[in-house]
Amino acid sequence: MDIQIHHTFSLLSLLSLLFAPTVAFAPTDNYLINCGSNSNALDFSRVFIGDSTSTFLSEGKSIALKNQNPSPNLSSLYSNARVFTSELSYKFHINKNGTHLVRLHFSPFVSQSYNLSTAIFNVSANGFPILSHFSVKHDDLREFIMMVDSKSLEILFNPASEFGFVSAIEVISAPDDLIVDIDTKFVGPSEIKEYKNISSHVLETLHRINVGGSKITPFNDTLWRTWIPDDDFLVLKSAAKRAVTPHTPNYQKGGASREVAPDNVYMTAQQMNKNNLTMSAKFNITWEFPVGSHGVLHLVRLHFCDIVSISLNQLFFDVFINGFSAYRDLDLSELTFHVLASPYYIDFVVKSDKSGFMQISIGPSELSSPLRANAILNGVEIMKMVNVVELETGSKRGSLWIIVVSVLGGIAAICLAVLAVVIALECRKKKEKEKPKPVESMGWVPLPINGGSSYSRFSEVTANVSPGPKLFFALKIPFSDIQYATNNFDKSLIIGSGGFGMVYKGTLRDNTKVAVKRSVPGSRQGLPEFQTEITVLSKIRHHHLVSLIGYCEEQSERILRHKKGLLKQIIDPKLSGQIKPKSLKKFVETAEKCLAEYGIDRPTMGDVLWNLEHALQLQEPGTRTASCEDSNLNEP
Ligand SMILES: *[C@@H]1O[C@H](CO)[C@@H](O)[C@H](O)[C@H]1NC(C)=O
Ligand SMILES: *[C@@H]1O[C@H](CO)[C@@H](O)[C@H](O)[C@H]1NC(C)=O
Ligand SMILES: *[C@@H]1O[C@H](CO)[C@@H](O)[C@H](O)[C@H]1NC(C)=O
Ligand SMILES: *[C@@H]1O[C@H](CO)[C@@H](O)[C@H](O)[C@H]1NC(C)=O
Ligand SMILES: *[C@@H]1O[C@H](CO)[C@@H](O)[C@H](O)[C@H]1NC(C)=O
Ligand SMILES: *[C@@H]1O[C@H](CO)[C@@H](O)[C@H](O)[C@H]1NC(C)=O
Ligand SMILES: *[C@@H]1O[C@H](CO)[C@@H](O)[C@H](O)[C@H]1NC(C)=O
Ligand SMILES: *[C@@H]1O[C@H](CO)[C@@H](O)[C@H](O)[C@H]1NC(C)=O
């Protein structure tokens, strides 16, 4: 009983750990400069310091220019500019190494002596050119995301014509999880590759879109960004329908954080406009974003939050970029630990083509049932990798990853998982009896991981609940065995497609029945998440859960999905006679509820645990409960 409670707490603490608290982001470096002025300016409640009296500005020839005729609509930040006729530099002390946001504001006005829209100039940051032969026709804001790991950041302006100018400058420390250096999927004509080392590149933001929503101003954004609506980029407006939720998104560790994108991005989306009868049941929603030059690498970040589904595991869709498949069978329920309306983002590296546009399409996947076919998108960011044209060759990895089981959202999942764990243990014992086998690389190969956040999930979660990687090696099953068991992933062996994802039923060489879950290639759910799941599931495998194995192996027959009173016949023969009828009944009731077709009808994890505890109490005292190892030892 002790152990049982302990395990319960492990799971609960894991769950509570997943929900991140709300704390406003306070950047370590936060320089806001009002250029060409000796007074401060207020912009969306932020104070920009006048540069005339500041220490940031280097000595040199420059002019503080005032707009004599400022538009009343314009921020006071833009009523002045610093004009330079020779080199000009701003130097900022860096207090925290890491990714920084550098924003340069330009508002070209006309004064007696200068017409600022005729200026042409270069800008570099710590020697790295970020703007070349730059001229400004309209109010403009250029944002660069760059790694700064030096004592200072120097922004250098050089006139390429007679003069240049700048209206305002921001240098801000980015949150650690904004750009994370893990392999990012490359989408394009070549074979699938991963792109490494994103954070070391200077990124220039080209588009920042609040899909299905309205404009978000710096005032309402966690990092003082501006997000604009997507309508003007939709290729066929009638294909899309806005979705809005009034509820705050369920941020989780491992998903996107509030700093990655604010609430408003995740609370709105575009989904398939299926009410339009002139459309076929299956179609894409497509956006086209102008990106300019051909052959340049871009980081495309797509934001998702399932605010349209009424239950888990109903939404499966495909993502295409420039006509190439970027993500197949995207299952947000799976990626967000089975929580609806939970923010998530995925990064892709894409080379721009001749069209001059970045084309993004979403459409229903083959896995979705026709009635529930849908596809969503909540936000898009497109960032140009400045001065990167050549694609570094990422390591080519097997994109296959075999998961024996995963959390599926209820007891059904736990049953399958426990079943798999037991089988894995049996399998291992059998192997040990034979001869020692070298570790096979085809066992559990970590997936190429897209995006930043799963990494932090790994480090934090494992620090709290994982006993270390040993367990996973102990449970390792050779891939060839899995292939054999599932007849090389025979489609006819898929069980519960739609609700369960790709779960195959199979039979191992020793005739043990197994449930095998095969991850979608390209999925961000990496080895770390999987390890966490197995850790938790294997911890709760003791005691009463063993009896559940018998149920899950033949779900449909049991229910028979039970009504005919055949319950006793399907219990594992090893356990028959040991389970008290009341306890058994409680189990079956719980299991049955978990198998309800709609997620909304299924109990929460907490309810499941409570019910199992209750069932255990009905079983105790006095009765011996078989543990996993016990049943294994009974094997001849
Ligand atoms: C200022 O905004 C108002 C309302 O949006 C608009 O009618 C007016 O033309 C704008 N003025 C200038 C100078 O842009
Ligand atoms: C300022 O320069 C721009 C670009 O050369 C030109 O179109 C505009 O007419 C000029 N404005 C004035 C007032 O000279
Ligand atoms: C501006 O940048 C361009 C392209 O990098 C370079 O050819 C030119 O020499 C630069 N001009 C100045 C004045 O730095
Ligand atoms: C940042 O890194 C540079 C060089 O790697 C080092 O000189 C500097 O002290 C670091 N700054 C901080 C705040 O750690
Ligand atoms: C990442 O990029 C930087 C700058 O291009 C380079 O110095 C560094 O060696 C790269 N690191 C890896 C692991 O490729
Ligand atoms: C901030 O968001 C709120 C709620 O969405 C909105 O009413 C308000 O106008 C926004 N403020 C600005 C400055 O964008
Ligand atoms: C349905 O789609 C057609 C063309 O695809 C469009 O002309 C029409 O306006 C759409 N109707 C609605 C209600 O969105
Ligand atoms: C969606 O777009 C992709 C890429 O252009 C295309 O391959 C696919 O056939 C489209 N799907 C539908 C249903 O039109």
Residue 563 is assigned to a ligand binding site: no
Q: Does position 476 have pLDDT exceeding 60, yes or no? A: no
Give the residue whose CA is nearest to atom 6 of ligand 4: 150
* Residues above pLDDT 70, as percent of the chain: 62
Nearest listed ligand to the Cα of residue 85: 3
158 pLDDT exceeds 80?
Answer: yes
3-state SS class at 167: coil
The span from the CA of 146 to the CA of 128, in Å, is 10
In three-state secondary structure terms, 252 is strand
| Contact of 500 with 430, CB cutoff 8 Å | no
Helix (H) or strand (E) holding 532: helix 527-539
pLDDT 10s digits, 557-600: 223 273 434 455 556 566 666 777 777 777 777 777 766 655 55
The bridge status of strand 140-148 relative to strand 379-385 is unpaired
Per-residue model confidence (pLDDT) at position 349: 94
Q: What residues are paired with 88 via a beta bridge?
A: 157
Question: By C-alpha distance, which of 243, 503, 241 is closest to 367?
Answer: 503
The pairing of beta strand 344-351 with beta strand 184-187 = parallel
**pLDDT for 71 beyond 70:** yes
Q: What is the DSSP string of 81-116?
A: EEEESS-EEEEEE-SS-EEEEEEEEE---B-SS-BG
> Using alpha carbons only, what angle is made at residue 550 by residues 545 and 555, rounded to the nearest 5 degrees?
110
According to the model, what pLDDT value does residue 445 have? 29
367 exposure class (CB count in 10 Å sphere: 0-12, 13-18, 19+): buried
86 HSE (CA, 13 A, CB side): 4
1: confidence class by pLDDT, cuts 50, 70, 90: very low
Q: How confident is the model over 366-374, as a mean pLDDT?
A: 87
Question: Which stretch of DSSP H or E encloses residue 43?
Answer: strand 41-43
Q: Are 163 and 114 in contact (CB under 8 A)?
A: yes
Asked if residues 249 and 266 have their Cβ atoms less than 8 Å apart, the reply is yes
Burial 601-619 (b: 16+ CB within 10 A, else e): ebbebeebbebbbebbebb
Residues 401/519, Cβ–Cβ less than 8 Å: yes
Lowest pLDDT segment from 37-41, 103-107, 368-372, 513-517: 513-517
Residue among 235, 238, 274, 284 to mutate when testing ligand 7 (max atoms within 8 A of CB): 238
Supply the pLDDT for residue 511.
63
For 338-403, the three-class secondary structure string (H helix, E strand, C coil) is CCCCCCEEEEEEEECCCCCEEEEEEEECCCCCHHHCCCEECEEEEEEECCCCCCCCCCCCCCCCEE
Ligand nearest to the CA of 100: 4
Q: Which amino acid is at 131?
A: L
Q: Is 129 in the pocket of ligand 3 (CB under 6 A)?
A: yes
109 alpha carbon – ligand 3 mean position (Å): 24
Mean pLDDT for the stretch of residues 270-292 = 90
Distance 451 CA to ligand 4 centre (A): 26
- Structural domains of the chain, with CATH: 2-21+181-388 (no CATH), 30-173 (2.60.120.430), 436-565 (3.30.200.20)
pLDDT at 398 over 60: no
**C-beta of 617 in contact with ligand 7 (< 6 A):** no
Question: In a mutational test of the pocket of ligand 3, which residue from 88, 120, 133, 156 has the highest number of ligand atoms less than 8 Å from its CB?
Answer: 133
409 band by pLDDT with thresholds 50, 70 and 90: very low
Which pLDDT value is given to residue 493? 67
Q: Is the CB of 237 within 6 Å of ligand 7?
A: no
Q: Which residue(s) pair with 80 in the sheet?
A: 66
Candidate from 8-22, 74-88, 318-332 with smallest mean pLDDT: 8-22
Confidence of residue 191 (pLDDT cuts 50, 70, 90): low
Residue nearest (by alpha carbon) to ligand 6 atom 3: 220
Q: What is the pLDDT of residue 570?
A: 55
Separation CA 226–CA 71 (nearest Å): 21
pLDDT at 224 over 80: yes
Q: What would the two tokens of residue 364 be?
A: 């229903």
Range of lowest pLDDT (9-18, 125-134, 234-243, 400-409): 400-409
Sequence-separated (6 or more) residues with CB below 8 Å from residue 571: 547, 550, 579, 584
Looking at the CA of residue 277, tell me the nearest atom of ligand 7: 1
| Ligand 4 atom at shortest distance from the alpha carbon of 151 | 8
Q: Quick one: pLDDT at residue 447? A: 34
Which two three-digit tokens encode residue 255? 């998903």
Q: How far are the Cα atoms of 164, 360, 384 from residue 285, in angstroms, in the given order?
A: 42, 8, 23
Q: Indicate if ligand 2 lies below 6 Å from the C-beta of 124.
A: no
End-to-end Cα, the chain, rounded Å: 29
Q: For ligand 1, atom 2, which residue shows the shortest CA distance?
A: 73
Nearest to 27 by CA among 49, 43, 46: 46
Burial of 178 (0-12, 13-18, 19+ CB in 10 A): buried
Give 73 Cα–ligand 1 centroid separation in angstroms: 6
> CA dihedral in degrees (514, 515, 520, 525; nearest 10)?
-100
